[in-house]
Amino acid sequence: MSDPNKTAAACRFLNSREITMIDNALAALGEFGELRLVVQRGRLRYLITQRSLDALKWRPGEPTESAGPVG
């Protein structure tokens, strides 16, 4: 991956802290998920993450984490 400081210098909208936050959120999603950025008044306000689980691997009584990511 390229140097985040160089990438942040080229960005007009995001600062280096926000880029790091987005990168961490993407890494936490694993193989399959969704990351939405919510912008209010021209500024990044929220990150919304959604992780998907494989319904075919889930068994009654087990936590949903054991179903693992789809893919």
Band the pLDDT of 6: cuts 50, 70, 90.
Answer: low
Number of folded domains that form the chain: 1
Q: What is the pLDDT of residue 33?
A: 87
Residue 15: C-alpha distances to residues 5, 20, 43, 47, 58 (Å): 9, 9, 10, 15, 40
Q: What is the pLDDT of residue 54?
A: 78
* Stretch (H or E) spanning 50: strand 43-51
Give residue-wise pLDDT tens across range 44-64: 999 999 988 778 877 888 766
* Burial status of residue 64 (CB atoms within 10 A of its CB: 0-12, 13-18, 19 or more): exposed
Q: What is the pLDDT of residue 2?
A: 57
Give the domain range for residue 17: 4-67
Q: pTM of this prediction?
A: 0.62
